[in-house]
Amino acid sequence: MKTKKIYKTILLGLLVACFSNIVKSQSCGMFYPMVNGTEIEMTSYDTLNQPGGKSINKISDVKTTADGKTATVQSTYKNKQDVVSGTSSWLVKCTGNSVFVDMQSYIPQQSKNQWKDMTIKAEAGQLEIPQNLSVGMTLKDASVTVTMYKNNVLYSTMKITIFNRVVASKESITTPAGTFICYKITQEMKTEMSINGNVIPINIKSAEYYAAGTGLVKNEMINEKGRVYRYGLLTKITKP
């Protein structure tokens, strides 16, 4: 009898551990796909709903860690003529509680193209997306600071801060890739560009829509009058 109890205890422990690992694994893919080979295409649109450029993000180098997973996102940017205009990569980390996205992913590609002849140093935080999103939740701020040097001389700095992040609603969003139930996160973005000691601030509002099991489905850029002047849609997602 004593031996049976010991076996039952061991078996129960194994089942609990196994269940915990399954839940953690599923949670890690909740709002950001963490599977090697997944490709996500986002297309941008203007106020006339005309498509512009697009970004194609490919998930690679997924690794299991003690508390979840890490992955590399390889991005290819194309203009409206479908010509490649740039590439970049950043890291994503996932735990059983949150996804953490490298803030370097928020640096505009146009800016990167302008800096191609400069030496760049970036200090990037991580944008946290909790796995248990609920309407009314307040999320943490995040920022990235980029310093540019030209011929070893400081040329400029740029700081991007995302703040005032709130889970505003839960909505059904339809895109060319399908229909998704999404959490809408509203936020503000402040960009401070410093050149020769002069700081040029730019403040905008935006919204991001995340679907469980898929990730980012839609984003919106909002002007001072509260109107959407540019938006992006998930137009294709390919999973292995």
- HEC-encoded secondary structure of the chain: CHHHHHHHHHHHHHHHHHHHHHHHHHHHCCCCCCCCCCEEEEEEECCCCCEEEEEEEEEEEEEEECCEEEEEEEEEEECCCCCEEEEEEEEEEEECCEEEEEHHHHCCHHHHHHCCCCEEEEEECEEEEECCCCCCCEECCEEEEEEEEECCEEEEEEEEEEEEEEEEEEEEEEECCEEEEEEEEEEEEEEEEEECCEEEEEEEEEEEEEECCCEEEEEEEECCCCCEEEEEEEEEEECC
The pLDDT tens digits of the residues spanning 146-184 come to 998 988 888 889 899 999 999 999 999 999 999 999 999
Using 70 as the pLDDT threshold, list the residues of the chain that sit under it. 1-27, 29
Alpha-carbon distance of 139 to 168, in angstroms, equals: 11
> How far apart are the two ends of the chain, measured CA to CA in Å?
48
Structure pTM? 0.83
pLDDT value for 162: 95
Alpha-carbon distance of 65 to 42, in angstroms, equals: 29
Please give the distance of CA 113 from its chain centroid, rounded to a whole number. Answer: 21
Residue type for position 19: F
- Tally of domains in the chain: 1
Q: How many residues are recorded in the chain?
A: 240
CATH of the domain at 42: 2.40.360.20
pLDDT value for 189: 93
- Structure tokens given for 101: 């996205």
pLDDT value for 59: 94
Look up the domain containing 76 and give its range: 2-238
Residue 58: is it exposed, middle or buried by C-beta count within 10 angstroms (0-12/13-18/19+)? middle
pLDDT value for 29: 62
Is the Cα torsion angle 167, 173, 175, 180 positive or negative in sign?
positive
